[in-house]
Amino acid sequence: MRQRTIRDAIAWSYDLLSPDEQGLFRRLSVFVGGFTLAAAEAVAARPQAEERDIIEGITALIDTSMVRRISGDDMLPRFTMLETIREFGLEQLAASGDNIAVRDAHTAWVLRLADQAEPELLGRDQRLWLTHLDAELPNVRAALGWLEHTGEVATRLRVLSALSWFWYVRGHLTEGRGWLERSLADEPVVPPVLRARALFAASTLAFGQADYPASLAHAEASLAIAERAGDRRGVASAHFLLGMKPQMEGDYALSVARLEPTLALWRQIDDPVWVGITLTQLADSYFGLGDLNRASDLHEEALLALRGIGMPWALGVALACLGNVVLEQGDIARAQDLMLESLAVGRDIDDQRSAGETLISLAVAAEREGHVVRAAHLIGAVDSVRARIHTPLAVIPAQSARYDHTIAVVRAHLGDEAFAAARMAGQALSLPEAIRFASNIMAARPDDSDRGTHTH
């Protein structure tokens, strides 16, 4: 009865609108999670309509409470509908006969958004675009669902591939990979370069989940297609992941042998972002080999390149990785400074996975200084991050072994009961709280409040 009353009220408000306002309302109902003025113009405007027509129409809908204005996270004015109102609008849209045309226009807008976002996700405005895509994710999902419903695979793969860095950095690994693998399994005739890109994206997301067999299979398939198509970027991208797989398995010599020529390929292509990313991973393989000087030199070169570009995700990873090398070289204070800078960079883009990896390194550093309670708190914070993002951390064997050793040393020093209590306290911290905790204790150096005798 209550639902019927609400529906009658919505219908009454709808009947009060002019025919043009009703049409605009129906078309705007296709948006999920809200829309900006630019999006409304792209999807819901009548042919030859001017911006003021859309503004006046939306204003009328706001006045009748059919649409609400909200503030977007990226500070752009944003509008939305209550879900019950939007459902009514979708019913009216279906009855109007315009449903397919409006959904196609919505999907075309999402495709343009993805194409525009792709290069920005590897640039200095990465944070802004990640935030923008956070707001538009419900619309992206709706467009992908429509494309799946209509069987349009090529456009689906274009959107998914263009947003691969968004899926990865934001931790939507399962979702992005699921969309990609279902789309790739449809076996349509799509341009080879597009299929190679989609396979690389699927390989990257599988890699992020530590599913190395699937990642390898996708990377090898991507490489074969890219080589036949003469796609140099596709070839370099696939070779990068093929060089990463042995690193995860502890075969650092093979990783170096594969990543060195990959670095040369990216230098030839003249892509400074991928040069920086490849330098970082090549340095990690030298780290695994125990060649700390070579690792340090490569990380410094990567940092120099990435600071100039300003791409936050890659810069944050490079800072943390150099911190790991410096830590093994014995300069704990500088290592901690590098790791804290990495956390600060990653905080701006909410990079939880990289933050978790960096907290692992800070736990190791705290134990090396004898601050075992601090280390236990940080270990608990890492547990919390791992549980929240459902993604493995410290997957490189050399780093994993180092972290396991740290946990064993801290537990042995504190005893099982005290270690469990301190670890649980760390698990209760949110990621921002854990970062503040790490920052505060490092800023307070020197502090011997929880220092104790320990051995490695």
State the CATH number of the domain containing residue 59: 1.10.10.10
| pLDDT bracket for residue 310 (50, 70, 90) | confident
pLDDT for residue 455: 40
Tell which of 75, 97, 119 closes a domain.
97
Q: 49 in a domain, yes or no?
A: yes
pLDDT for residue 442: 62
Q: Is the pLDDT of residue 311 over 70?
A: yes
User: Which of 62-71, 155-164, 392-401 shows the lowest per-residue confidence on average (mean pLDDT)?
Assistant: 392-401
Mean pLDDT score of the chain: 90
Tell which of 69, 97, 125 closes a domain.
97
> Residues 195-221: what's their mean pLDDT?
94
Instruction: List beta partners, residue 71.
Output: 77
Q: 38 in a domain, yes or no?
A: yes
Q: Is the pLDDT of residue 237 over 70?
A: yes
| pLDDT bracket for residue 456 (50, 70, 90) | very low
| Range of the structural domain that residue 91 is part of | 2-97
Q: 23 in a domain, yes or no?
A: yes
Q: 454 in a domain, yes or no?
A: yes
Say how far residue 69 (Cα) sits from the centre of its chain.
Answer: 28
Total domains in the chain come to 2
Q: 244 in a domain, yes or no?
A: no
Tell which of 40, 73, 97 closes a domain.
97
For 282-334, what is the HEC assignment? HHHHHHHHCCHHHHHHHHHHHHHHHHHHCCHHHHHHHHHHHHHHHHHCCCHHH
Q: Is the pLDDT of residue 453 over 80?
A: no
pLDDT for residue 309: 85
Grouping H, G, I as helix, E, B as strand and the rest as coil, residue 430 is coil
Q: 311 in a domain, yes or no?
A: no
Q: 169 in a domain, yes or no?
A: no
pLDDT 10s digits, 76-132: 789 999 999 999 999 999 999 899 999 999 999 999 999 999 999 988 889 899 999
Grouping H, G, I as helix, E, B as strand and the rest as coil, residue 226 is helix
Identify whether the C-beta of residue 454 lies closer than 8 Å to the C-beta of residue 409.
yes
- Tokens 């198509």 correspond to what residue? 229
pLDDT for residue 454: 44
Q: 299 in a domain, yes or no?
A: no
- State the burial class of residue 341 (Cβ atoms within 10 Å of its Cβ: 0-12, 13-18, 19+): middle
